[in-house]
Amino acid sequence: MVTDGDKWTKRWSKSSWKQSDGSAGEFKLSAGKFHGDEAEAKGLQTGPDSKFFAYWAEMKKAFDNTKKELVVQVSLVLLIIQHAQL
């Protein structure tokens, strides 16, 4: 969930990786098709259909994870709508 509106675009920059061959996608802020509270449900949505999504953000402060695990957490929602064929 993104709670600061479009401010994420000031922190994150789209990578130029895979843009030359047209397979790089973009993120947009959206609550999706099904939500209770639109403002609370907003998050980053991929689009259009692409294979690669690459963004980066500068780290203000260096960190050292020597002898420690680095855990990157991502939450995904995959929406599949099936249409009944009669």
DSSP helix, strand, coil percent of the chain (3-state; round to 5): 15, 20, 65
Tell me the whole-structure pTM to 2 decimals.
0.58
The DSSP element (H or E) to which 10 belongs, if any, is helix 8-11
Longest distance between any two alpha carbons in the chain, whole Å = 59
Statement: residue 69 has pLDDT above 90 = yes
The CB density around residue 42, as the number of other CB atoms within 10 Å, is 19
Pick from 37-41, 54-58, 81-85: least confident: 81-85
* Three-state secondary-structure class, residue 26: strand
Q: Which of the pair, 78 or 57, is modelled with greater confidence?
A: 57
Cα→Cα distances 57→39, 42, 48, 68, 77, Å: 24, 20, 22, 22, 23
Closest CA to 2 of 49, 38, 47, 51: 38
Residue 1: band (very low, low, confident or very high) from pLDDT cuts 50, 70, 90:
low
